[in-house]
Amino acid sequence: MTEFRADLLNGIALAYSGDAVYEVFVRDYLLSQGITKPGELQRTAVKYVSAKAQAFLISEMEKDAILTEEELTYFKRGRNAHSKTTAKNTDVVTYRISTGFEAIFGFNHLTGKHERVAFLANYCIEKISEQI
């Protein structure tokens, strides 16, 4: 895959990619836990990938100071991006924070920082697993 110039991509585009990247990590994790029924996979995955969960994860990342300055910049780019879509199951602020969360994953993935993506995904999965 070609690396992208993240500075040329808007926050929504970064979040579009990041959403898929994080979701794959969650799906792989759930399957590794022996969850195989589609309904159970979906119900459990929501606990990890919902806007509410992602907003919680951003607060945990801030508390643990694990984001780089560059990642914070891309988080803000995603959070502040103007989207034509609206939040379905959450408030606008939580939805925007989750877009920023996804932008971090998109930025790291598209710029070839795969070890960092894996580190952040595993951190997030662990944090959510502690909550459920």
Which of 19, 28, 64, 91 is catalytic? The answer is: 19
DSSP 111: T
How far, in Å, CA of 42 to CA of 116, rounded?
A: 26
- The DSSP line for 1-40 is -PPP-GGGS-HHHHHHHHHHHHHHHHHHHHHHTT---HHH
- Indicate the Cα dihedral angle 9, 16, 104, 107, nearest 10°: -40
- Is 19 a catalytic site residue? yes
Residues classed as catalytic: 19
